[in-house]
């Protein structure tokens, strides 16, 4: 009994020490394939994000949360972002990519990671 408790305690300590770096997360076949901060004079003033539609439908809107980290992978802040097609911007067809630039001020941020929260398809369906 005592060995089981000690083994469980040691295992839980080892799992708590496991480092999982931040990463992009997608939804419904739409993924962020690249994102990076835009710095001006050492200050983060925004970020670029590139999305790929791997679904079988055309996408006309994407909503996401951007999380900002420093080089120690410490969370420095977050913000919401969204992209929509319109009169000039075409929907993202299956297999295609698009880029977006978002303006946001997050002090000390050097990296950004995207978590897609909603996707709207041209057929009117929404994936949450």
Strand order in the sheet with 126-127: 75-84, 59-69, 111-121, 126-127
More confident residue, 87 or 64: 64
Strands lying side by side in the sheet with 30-40:
30-40, 43-53, 97-103
pLDDT at 44: 78
Domain assignment present for residue 78? The answer is yes
Rounded Cα distance between 17 and 77, Å, is 23
Q: Is residue 77 part of a domain?
A: yes
pLDDT band at 17, cuts 50/70/90? low
- Any domain includes 4: no
Give the Cα separation of 61 and 82 in Å (integer).
Answer: 7
Taking residues 11-33, report their average pLDDT. Answer: 78
Using an 8 Å Cβ cutoff, are 97 and 53 in contact? yes
Comparing 89 with 10, the larger pLDDT belongs to 89
Which of 13-17, 31-35, 100-104 shows the lowest mean pLDDT across its residues?
13-17
More confident residue, 87 or 120: 120
Domain range for 121 is 22-127
Say which residues have a Cβ less than 8 Å from residue 22's Cβ, sequence separation at least 6. Answer: 67, 69, 73, 111, 113
Q: What is the CATH number of the domain that holds 109?
A: 2.60.40
| Region 53-80 average pLDDT | 96
Asked whether residue 47 is domain-assigned, the answer is yes
Domain count, the chain: 1
Q: What's the predicted TM-score (pTM) here? A: 0.81
Residue 57 pLDDT > 90, yes or no? Answer: yes
Question: Which residues does 75 contact at the CB level (< 8 Å), separation at least 6?
Answer: 67, 68, 69
Tell me how far apart the alpha carbons of residues 5 and 29 are, in angstroms, rounded to a whole number: 43
- Beta partners for residue 70, in sequence order: none
Average pLDDT of the residues of the chain: 88
**Top-confidence residue, 2 or 85:** 85
74/71 Cα distance (integer angstroms): 7
pLDDT for the residue numbered 8: 66
Q: How far is CA 68 from CA 31, 44, 74, 97, 99, in A?
A: 18, 10, 8, 23, 18
Q: Does residue 53 carry a pLDDT above 70?
A: yes
């Amino acid at each position: 009994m005592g060995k089981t408790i000690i083994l469980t305690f040691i295992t839980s300590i080892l799992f708590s020490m496991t480092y999982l770096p931040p990463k992009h997360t997608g939804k419904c076949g739409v993924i962020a394939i690249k994102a990076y901060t835009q710095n001006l004079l050492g200050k983060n003033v925004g970020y670029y994000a590139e999305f790929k539609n791997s679904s079988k439908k055309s996408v006309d809107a994407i909503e996401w949360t951007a999380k900002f980290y420093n080089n120690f992978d410490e969370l420095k802040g977050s913000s919401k972002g969204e992209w929509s097609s319109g009169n000039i911007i075409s929907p993202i067809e299956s297999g295609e990519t698009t880029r977006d630039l978002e303006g946001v001020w997050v002090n000390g941020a050097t990296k950004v990671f995207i978590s897609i929260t909603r996707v709207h398809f041209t057929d009117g369906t929404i994936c949450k």
